[in-house]
Chains A and B, each alone.
Chain A
């Protein structure tokens, strides 16, 4: 039976110049004349996730994190962080949700216009009901008139929307992970600040330089650092994040704003993490940031006196 079927199939295939005696599994890949000339521009490379049963899948659990010194960018120490903190897969939709949520929450919502009841003036009838040849008119605050009230104008309101905390926290770490993957997350030692040369500080202290000269010096000094590191304007600017305000760094970035910005940890949003060419953050600020945004990794349910607290916040492999 099967032989007959194959035979008739063979006859049918002959017209198409295909051989039916070969099964799909053994059939050699015949390059199509037209399609083999060029590959598809959008063709994805073959995924390497296929594996056999005897090779158990061992997913990555930790990623290395180098702590640099600033401004020399010397690698000082090495830490190991959980992939759930710094190596999450990118979900653009979640980042979008977070950015929209922040944008909504930041809206001032103070736009306001006066209705006809709020516009100043007498509510006396503007003209009599009949006999003027004009249309009927009540008061001069009528929305129809110039200077009258606004019929459906903006009123102060709260534009903020809601987002589940676990989703928002995931978005924070996802933004950090995105930066990490692209090599745009630079973690520095604690106390990230701009060290100014001693002789300049001496001159500034002695009052030898006026403000224009001081700012000019810091601007040039900072520009040199940013250009030397490849962090400047031509490389997409840089966001510095510190735990609190560091006078030299923050003032330096104010006068040298073309090359980037400096933010305190409390002022940082997910959107800030996604802007500019790279994020330079001090180690404790990063730790605090992740600590504050890991609600999706922690459980509130206590079992046997313990609850899941999520992966540890960094493990030192090489100390400075």
Chain B
């Protein structure tokens, strides 16, 4: 286990006003010692963070590593560490805004000034802000630090758009499967990561006809399409995932109407094709298809049904509201939460009256207030 030493001297804890990484920050949340201007060293031990460079190294388990590749990496590691000078490229532009000149207040035990008199009341003391919510403020947190996954953060849920994208993923997966073994790795990787933000490309690929082949498995109707789709996929440039699909619901609806149902019934059995489909689906729609679900998916129809299924409601009340059950029954009322005694009073319009009368007598409206329960109640319940 390699770690970089992150021991900081107390001098490094001092603010360095000429550091190139420092973004201009407002002088907020600075701590000043009221008695002394001397900054204190950090009282807590510094964390040992690991750089990205190290984390990308393949680490192997001490006992389980049996593959030669892992052993080679392990052998190489000391060399790598030696070459890797513990210096960060401090010229890297940072979009983080952090407080300047943080001076931590000394604890009362550390103060040596004989004139120091600790305050006994909070009145008259200067208030300074803490740093607990420093990063929660928008202007401090860099936009490049936002999480970006493999697929869009917002899943595509519109059924027709989802159908178009599913079909596109199927076409692309079949094409990638055909060329993946012979093509270069870079081309396959580019094809699998293609986002295809433009509408024209999407329509071209979605328009490719999908049929059941001789053995019933899903394939492209026209052999020429394989080459065409591969050419557009493998040449796709790496790009960020767009937040919304390039096709509107209305356009998707029109497109879906032109298709028959045959493509949804063809067989989809090859686990490798299914893997490519799942990867393309994740890239295009943001839906992650678990492996166990891939096992059950045997046709494009079942795949689409899985993606199109709304998430399971968390509460029974949501189920009832969604299905509209019980609503036709005249003698059944439905509430999403428990009907409390207050609710019952409100229903008959008595609650305001009760409230008014209780307040008039200076009695607590809810609860018992300062009036404890009777002694007899305690006796009856075994509380002494």
Contacts and interface: CB of A to CB of B under 8 A. Distances in A.
B46 A211 contact: yes
B58 A201 contact: no
Interface stretch (B16-24, B230-238, B242-250): B16-24
Contacts of A133: none
A229 B47 contact: no
A200 B278 contact: no
A218 B49 CA distance: 10
Contacts of B102: 210, 213
A153 interface: no
A204 B8 CA distance: 10
B1 interface: yes
Interface in B128-154: 130-136, 141-142, 144-150, 153
Interface in B69-123: 70, 86, 88-90, 92-96, 98-99, 102, 104
B135 A202 contact: no
A248 B144 CA distance: 19
Nearest to B280: A75
Interface in A143-159: none
Interface stretch (B254-262, B286-294, B330-338, B349-357): B286-294
B291 A65 contact: yes
Nearest to B295: A63
A201 B53 CA distance: 11
B241 to A, nearest CB: 10
A205 interface: yes
Nearest to A285: B61
Given A73-B288, A247-B50, A284-B61, A207 B8 contact: yes
Interface stretch (B219-227, B269-277, B340-348): B269-277
A194 B271 CA distance: 30
Given A204-B6, A206-B90, 12 more contacts: A60-B295, A183-B290, A190-B70, A204-B46, A207-B12, A208-B15, A216-B131, A216-B132, A216-B134, A244-B62, A284-B61, A318-B272
Which of A73, A205, A218 has the largest count of B CB atoms less than 10 A from its CB?
A205
A202 B92 contact: yes
Interface in B20-49: 21-22, 42, 44-49
B45 to A, nearest CB: 8
B275 A229 contact: no
Contact of A228 (B16, B19, B149): B149
A224 B59 contact: no
B58 A191 contact: yes
A288 B146 contact: no
6 contacts: A72-B149, A183-B292, A208-B19, A214-B47, A216-B134, A218-B49
B38 to A, nearest CB: 16
A280 to B, nearest CB: 13
A225 interface: yes
Given A198-B88, A210-B104, A217-B135, A265 B47 contact: no
B49 A247 contact: yes
A80 B86 CA distance: 40
Given A190-B60, A208-B19, A220-B136, A64 B291 contact: yes
Nearest to A179: B292
A209 interface: yes
Contact of B51 (A180, A201, A214): A201
B131 A212 contact: yes
Interface of A: 60, 63-66, 71-75, 78, 80, 180-185, 190-191, 193-221, 224-225, 227-229, 243-248, 251, 265, 284-285, 287-288, 291, 317-318
A130 B9 CA distance: 78
B47 A66 contact: no
Given A206-B12, A215-B47, A288-B64, A198 B52 contact: yes
Contact of B56 (A195, A206, A318): A195
B374 interface: no
B366 interface: no
Given A202-B89, A220-B135, A318-B275, A193 B65 contact: no
A243 B61 contact: yes
A75 B60 contact: no
A210 B64 contact: no
A289 to B, nearest CB: 9
Given A195-B52, A224-B147, A228-B153, A243 B59 contact: yes
A193 B99 CA distance: 28
A181 B293 CA distance: 8
A204 to B, nearest CB: 6
A107 B145 CA distance: 44
B185 to A, nearest CB: 9
A60 B292 CA distance: 12
A200 B48 CA distance: 13
A180 B292 contact: yes
B3 interface: yes
A258 to B, nearest CB: 15
Top 9 nearest A-B pairs (CB, nearest first) are A183-B290, A199-B94, A207-B12, A228-B147, A288-B64, A202-B88, A243-B61, A74-B150, A193-B55
A223 B295 CA distance: 32
A129 B293 CA distance: 82
Given A205-B6, A288-B61, A196 B149 contact: no
Given A207-B8, A228-B149, A247-B50, A198 B89 contact: yes
Contacts of A74: 150, 193, 279, 282
B58 A182 contact: no
Contacts of B133: 216
B63 interface: yes
Contact of A75 (B1, B8, B86, B279): B279
B57 interface: yes
B356 to A, nearest CB: 41
Contacts of A66: 275, 278, 291
B73 to A, nearest CB: 9
Contacts of A182: 290, 292
